[in-house]
Amino acid sequence: MLEQYFGLNAHGTTVRRELLAGLTTFLTMAYIIFVNPQILAKTGMDINAVFVATCLAAAFGSLMMGLYANYPVALAPGMGLNAYFTFVVVLGPTPHTWQVALGAVFISGILFFALSVFKVREWIVNAIPLSMKFGIAAGIGLFLAIIALKSAGVIVASPATLVTLGNLKDPPTLLAAVGFLLTVALSYRRVPGAIVIAILVVTVLGIPLGLTQFHGIVKAPPSLAPTFLQMDIAGALKLGLGTIIFAFLFVDLFDNTGTLIGVAHRAGLLDKEGKLPRLGQALIADSSAAMVGAALGTSTTTSYIESAAGVDAGGRTGLTAATVAVLFLAALLLSPLAAAVPAYATAPALFYVACLMARSLKDLDWDDISEFVPAVVTTITIPLSFSIADGLGLGFIVYALAKLLSGRFADLNPAVVIIALAFLVRIVLT
């Protein structure tokens, strides 16, 4: 049955290899069940309910990708998007309730679904300059880095310089440093689950110091009721939230597309023209997961680049993703452990992911000022404005003006001009 459904022989794989690949992928991305509740709980959301929503959203998205699109790509609430959800939409300069933020995620999922069905995605993705995609990825990484350093106490607020170095001798800060170095060392040695191992080690080290409140490892899953179907769609549709919805949609669209293509290329699943077969099914799976995740009570669910670890272990079909889904369901029993993980234990994971995302800057064309300057502007302004949307807007405005003033009119396309003008109008009117 599995052979017929997933085409295992045709992809040169076996059931055992797919199951092992699924376990490998799960171990590399399981940190999200500890990190996501920590981040979203800052909005006032129930941390236990978010834990359940995280596991269920990851299970649903991974199962959809496996059964419907037959790709070895797992999904879960995305890093960066959860930070934007918390620190910009809910706790930002213009605060909204977390229910409204969930409504914005749900609407962005509907729009993503429509773009996938009507095949508008290809036009949008192809219209955005490659240099801007690199800048956006790195900018989101630096955004995560600031959040991580603040959570670990490495940087603190300063009335004189905005931020300054914190007390590096504080026990939580020292433990966070240990967690980061352990993550780097284990990852270098290609130890499966390096991030999860580091989180758990730091959590355990905090127990004798009185920094970790440990109440067990396994028990029945908590209630989902505090977050289930709590999204405020009407509130999210109000004038002024269009930029927020667009930011959720934009980041998910490009993050997902880049992940799918990157993992598929690594697995040898691209066709002769370098295109991804069944791309429509994969995007529908991703957008459906975003909508379901919002209904359950979590930020945007998207494809995970950690799926590449499973591909390296031999995963080639949707059975790998389906295995990940089953493991996320099993993780529902770990709520006491997830609740015990402190912020200083998850901060190293955030900072490590930030370092990985910053690698995209190496692919910029550093010989073309009109390309790398807008990308760097985007990279810098996303973290310093504490807003993905504002960073994107400034980057697109600079890109359009740089091309116009350089006489490089052929490099501009209608989509970029429209996006730049939309952000310019927003700046003028607000």
Q: What is the pLDDT of residues 220-251, one digit of tens each?
A: 888 999 999 999 888 888 756 677 787 777 77
Backbone angles phi, psi at 94, to 5 degrees: -115, 85
State the pLDDT at residue 99. Answer: 92
Q: Which of 21-25, 38-42, 257-261 has the highest mean pLDDT?
A: 38-42
pLDDT over 80 at 286, yes or no: yes
Q: What is the dihedral of CA 325, 253, 99, 215, to 10 degrees?
A: 40
- Indicate the range of 62-66, 135-139, 175-179 predicted with least confidence: 135-139
pLDDT over 80 at 124, yes or no: no
Q: Compute the distance between CA of residue 151 and CA of residue 207 in angstroms, rounded to an integer.
A: 18
Ranges of each domain in the chain: 2-429
State the pLDDT at residue 75. Answer: 93
More confident residue, 420 or 376: 376
Q: b/e string for 321-352 if b means 16 or more Cβ within 10 A? A: bbbbbbbbbebbebbebbbbbbbbbbbbbbbb
Using a pLDDT cut of 70, give the percent of the chain over it.
91
Backbone angles phi, psi at 278, to 5 degrees: 60, 30
Q: Outline where DSSP puts E strands in 201-322.
A: 301-303
- Indicate the range of 108-117, 175-184, 236-245, 330-339 predicted with least confidence: 236-245
The arithmetic mean of pLDDT across residues 104-132, rounded, is 78
State the pLDDT at residue 121. Answer: 66
The arithmetic mean of pLDDT across residues 56-77, rounded, is 92
State the pLDDT at residue 214. Answer: 76
State the pLDDT at residue 131. Answer: 84
Asked if 94 and 265 count as a contact pair (C-beta separation under 8 A), the reply is no
Is residue 76 classed as helix, strand or coil in its secondary structure?
strand
State the pLDDT at residue 208. Answer: 87
The DSSP annotation for 160-214 comes to TTEEEE--TTSHHHHHHHHHHHHHHHHHHTT-TTHHHHHHHHHHHHTTTTT----
162-208: pLDDT as tens digits: 889 889 999 999 999 999 999 899 989 988 778 778 888 998 898 88
Q: Which of 60-74, 190-204, 251-265 has the highest mean pLDDT?
A: 60-74
pLDDT over 80 at 267, yes or no: no
State the pLDDT at residue 111. Answer: 86
81-94: pLDDT as tens digits: 888 889 888 888 88
Residue 305 to residues 79, 151, 261, 288, 315, Cα–Cα distance (Å): 11, 24, 10, 19, 14
Is residue 303 classed as helix, strand or coil in its secondary structure?
strand
State the pLDDT at residue 195. Answer: 78
Tell me which residue of 147, 166, 144, 146 sits closest to 155, measured CA to CA.
166
Asked if 166 and 156 count as a contact pair (C-beta separation under 8 A), the reply is yes
Q: Outline where DSSP puts E strands in 256-304.
A: 301-303
Place 270 in a pLDDT band, splitting at 50, 70 and 90. low
Q: Is the dihedral of CA 148, 153, 159, 161 positive or negative?
A: negative
Q: Compute the distance between CA of residue 264 and CA of residue 195 in angstroms, rounded to an integer.
A: 23
State the pLDDT at residue 44. Answer: 92
What is the chain's mean pLDDT, rounded?
A: 83
Asked if 376 and 388 count as a contact pair (C-beta separation under 8 A), the reply is no
Q: Compute the distance between CA of residue 198 and CA of residue 180 in angstroms, rounded to an integer.
A: 7
Q: Which value, in Å, is the radius of gyration of the alpha carbons in the chain?
A: 21
Beta bridge partners of 163: 157
State the pLDDT at residue 355. Answer: 86
pLDDT over 60 at 158, yes or no: yes
State the pLDDT at residue 52. Answer: 94
DSSP state at residue 14: -
pLDDT over 70 at 430, yes or no: no
Structure tokens at 382: 């996303």
Place 118 in a pLDDT band, splitting at 50, 70 and 90. confident
